[in-house]
Structure 1
Amino acid sequence: MIISNIQLQQSEDHNLISAQIDDFNLWYKFPKEIIPEIRADAFIAACLIPSMKLGSDIIIDEDIPVSIELLENIEKLQVIFSSWEKYLGHKLSIIKIKGGKKTKTLAGWDKTISFFSGGVDGTFTYLKHKKEINYLLFAKGIDMQLSSDDLYNKALSKNKDFLNKEGKEVIPFETNVRFLGHQYGVGWSACFGGGLSSIALAAGAKKCYIASGVTYGSMHPEGSNFITDHLWGNGFTQIIHDGAESTRVNKLKQISKNENALNILRVCWHDNGYNCGNCEKCLRTMTNLRVLKLQTSTFQTLTDQLVKIKLSKIKIYNVHDMEFIEENLEEAIKINDHVLIKVLNKIKRNYELRGLWNHVDHLFFNGFLKNIKQKL
């Protein structure tokens, strides 16, 4: 994989740093107060997992600076990620980084940042570290499409209003880093630790928090986690995986202490309204709100009727989402919510039955039944 033509384009209102990754143009567009340095670090971080999947060395121009510490960390990251192949869903080969002018990264944008979109994890991390965090970054192109201008501006306006009351500033920016992996057949879940870290490296921030989506107790190998995230640092930029000590229900309980934070809550990534109220993530969050007896203007209340006609219809396909169901089930049992208990148990049972069916198919039919189902 060749990283070439790294360049910085400056205008009156923004700075855009980009590079050609084979046939893919990878870019990060920041407001004018962030002036990226022309170096290879961010692009290497973004490219690592796709390159390992291809089994292709990363080649950069000889005169482009690259962090010595990041290169050392890349060796450790590859050992870890290659041992997680069966979880990440790809054969990942150890590759080499060739070229570049090896340097120590001694300076940059001396600020602490955190990603913020109004979601549960990012808001929890912000509230926990708000005395230390200087700026909150809100990305177009990460949890919503680059073309979703109206939705992005609506969410940005709400985030600005909330953070202004907190005495903080939100920095809007755009990037297509999420789409790099798809170019090579790698999903975001496998490479988002490097993808998010690449944003912090491109901005040159002193420290960046990445909010955890799961707890230490339920963590599984994926692109971002407490084992690997800190290794994306380059000697100046420090990456911190944060919040894995708290369940989603407990995070929301903490967020609810700040009414303004609760009233901008946005978790949906379907680009169908501020929160669509129909997807698994929306319904999971609406269930969180119900078990905690909370209300917010950004979600309709999850009534008994909605539990029966919407929540009961969702299907869970991976262990991560099943753990959120079990967490809500545990809370529903505590408050003796019979309607919710019945539906969550049904969702759990259906998930377990599908798992059993898949296991039998794999064990006795070598996946034949699954292939027939897909064809049908």
Structure 2
Amino acid sequence: MDGVAPAHRQSPGGARRPTRSPHGRDPIVVDDVRIAADASGAELSARVTGGGSDLPPRLWFRVPVEHAAALAAGGDAFLPVLLLAAMSGGAPLRIEAEVSAMLLGSTRRIMRLYRDWGGMPPLDEIEITAPAVARERREPQTGAFFSGGVDSFHTVLKNLARYPVGDVRRITHLVLVHGFDIPVEDRRLFETVRTRAGEVAAHAGLRLLPVITNARAAIAHLPWESAHGTVLASVALALGELFDTVLIASSYEFLELRPWGTHPSLDPLWSTETLEIRHDGAELPKPEKMRVVAASPIALRILRVCWKNPDGQYNCGRCEKCLRTMVTLAAHGALERAEQFPRVIDPRLVEQLPLGEFIRPRWQDLARQLRARDGDGPVVRAIDSALRRSAWADSALGRIDARVWARLSRLGVTPARAKSLDRALTGGRATALLRRLQRRA
């Protein structure tokens, strides 16, 4: 349509070689798909060639040997991350292994979503060539991606409270991915997370399925917030011999949805005839999810939200996400029982936070909740200050102000010196005017 090459060619007799892309790029080729196992574990992998030098020579997914039967031989698992990599380079994608016909049929819509959402370098709709096959149904098993955060904890707690043991909709496995938010090289932190996730699984009567993958390397050149869902989709498809349903916990509620790596319009499109990938939990805002989490002793003992993890810390207690979680826990009266966080919030850390436009409404809600609970205390005042400063920084006048200060700094004029000059020349009226403008931003 509109001069765009077909999203895929179904070739039951084998893959057909695509023509070069309109940009002259050679195709990304996936071949030599294999599963290998030994005493240390089992691995699904494929060779990747073409498409430039950004791609790893092999993509792989590894599981403990007792989960070897979960790995699905075929090309499904390699499609999500390499589709986005191919789109970013305008290169055709050829997979020389069977791919679900249903998944192939969804790629046109997937590509349009990514292209229309923006937030990434220009993306082209590309040609995908692979032998198509209709997958056959298997026994029901439900997996849930689990990081130890608020969203994934809520998905698990809600599901287990709703569905009794034996119900086909009940979660059976927690899927923990090494190489998603924890770098593959950081084994020490992952082992800590794995041990604590194992406690959750044992407490709930579930099985923990740890997966390690280098799939993120294929999209390392793309913004993570927009591309991360492809890693989860690839992992889910790699485990296609075990699950008929995999749950991805929603980051946002329906009322605040925006283009994001995981999304209710996108996640189901990665499904196959035998595996449904579901976006879960968008019906509730984060404070309501936290209410459920704050009532769970196991969640308060294990909760992990940090993506920065300086020096391998489980939760750093200083980044925006850690501090937002701590304030939310405090608003629910649960911070002192949350074992993996500092017990006291430092208002100075809150006041210094740069709060982007999209995250500010959450902090405004938190300030209201905390003010209703504890009054106008130092943390509430710090939130108000951070909100004002961040709104000013994002405003047109704020951007002009930042440029002026940058130029003054290059001339050796410090803020203290500028205020001294203002007091001498205008009696401090310029500083007072600036503060009034900041409050109105």
TM-score normalized with structure 1 length: 0.88
Q: Structure 2 vs 1, CA of residues 176 and 322 (structure 1 numbering), >3 Å: closer, same or farther?
A: farther
Matched to 1:95, the amino acid is I
The residue that corresponds to 2:325 in the other structure is: 285
Q: In the alignment, is the contact (CA less than 8 A) between 1:27 and 1:176 conserved in 2?
A: yes
The residue that corresponds to 1:90 in the other structure is: 121
Q: In the alignment, is the contact (CA less than 8 A) between 1:115 and 1:210 conserved in 2?
A: yes
| SS in structure 2 at match of 1:332 | helix
| SS in structure 2 at match of 1:335 | helix
Q: Structure 2 vs 1, CA of residues 262 and 360 (structure 1 numbering), >3 Å: closer, same or farther?
A: closer
Q: Please, which runs of 5 or more residues in structure 2 have no aligned partner?
A: 1-27, 50-54, 164-169, 411-441
Mean CA deviation greater in 3-12 or 239-248: 3-12
The residue that corresponds to 1:314 in the other structure is: 353
Q: Does 1:202 align with 2:232?
A: no
Q: Distance in 2 between matches of 1:83 and 1:254?
A: 35
Q: In the alignment, is the contact (CA less than 8 A) between 1:4 and 1:60 conserved in 2?
A: yes
1:141-180 to 2 correspondences below 5 Å: 141-180=179-218
Q: Distance in 2 between matches of 1:358 and 1:109?
A: 61
Q: In the alignment, is the contact (CA less than 8 A) between 1:57 and 1:95 conserved in 2?
A: yes
The residue that corresponds to 2:93 in the other structure is: 58
The residue that corresponds to 1:353 in the other structure is: 392
Larger radius of gyration between Structure 1 and Structure 2: 2
Q: In the alignment, is the contact (CA less than 8 A) between 1:218 and 1:323 conserved in 2?
A: no
Q: Distance in 2 between matches of 1:356 and 1:347?
A: 14
Q: In the alignment, is the contact (CA less than 8 A) between 2:357 and 2:391 conserved in 1?
A: no
- State the number of aligned residues: 356
Q: In the alignment, is the contact (CA less than 8 A) between 1:34 and 1:109 conserved in 2?
A: no
Q: Does 1:217 align with 2:262?
A: no
Q: Structure 2 vs 1, CA of residues 108 and 28 (structure 1 numbering), >3 Å: closer, same or farther?
A: farther
The residue that corresponds to 2:141 in the other structure is: 111
Q: Distance in 1 between matches of 2:138 and 2:234?
A: 14
TM-score normalized with structure 2 length: 0.76
Q: Does 1:298 align with 2:340?
A: yes
Mean CA deviation greater in 27-36 or 225-234: 27-36
- Displacement of 1:5 after TM fit? 2.2
- Displacement of 1:359 after TM fit? 9.0
Instruction: Tell me which of 154, 161, 169 is aligned to 1:124.
Output: 154
Q: In the alignment, is the contact (CA less than 8 A) between 2:178 and 2:213 conserved in 1?
A: yes
Q: Does 1:27 align with 2:36?
A: no
Q: Structure 2 vs 1, CA of residues 342 and 84 (structure 1 numbering), >3 Å: closer, same or farther?
A: same
Tell me the alpha carbon deviations over residues 194-233 of structure 1, each in whole angstroms, 9 at most, x when there is no partner. 2201101011021100011111111111221111111110
Q: Does 1:81 align with 2:114?
A: yes
The residue that corresponds to 1:364 in the other structure is: none
Q: Structure 2 vs 1, CA of residues 104 and 262 (structure 1 numbering), >3 Å: closer, same or farther?
A: same
The residue that corresponds to 1:275 in the other structure is: 315
| SS in structure 1 at match of 2:268 | helix
Instruction: Tell me which of 227, 238, 243 is aligned to 1:191.
Output: 227
1:251-270 to 2 correspondences below 5 Å: 251-270=289-308
| SS in structure 1 at match of 2:369 | helix
| SS in structure 1 at match of 2:110 | helix
| SS in structure 1 at match of 2:152 | helix
Matched to 2:125, the amino acid is I
Q: Does 1:4 align with 2:24?
A: no
User: % of aligned pairs identical?
Assistant: 24
Q: Distance in 1 between matches of 2:133 and 2:197?
A: 38
Q: Distance in 2 between matches of 1:123 and 1:261?
A: 7
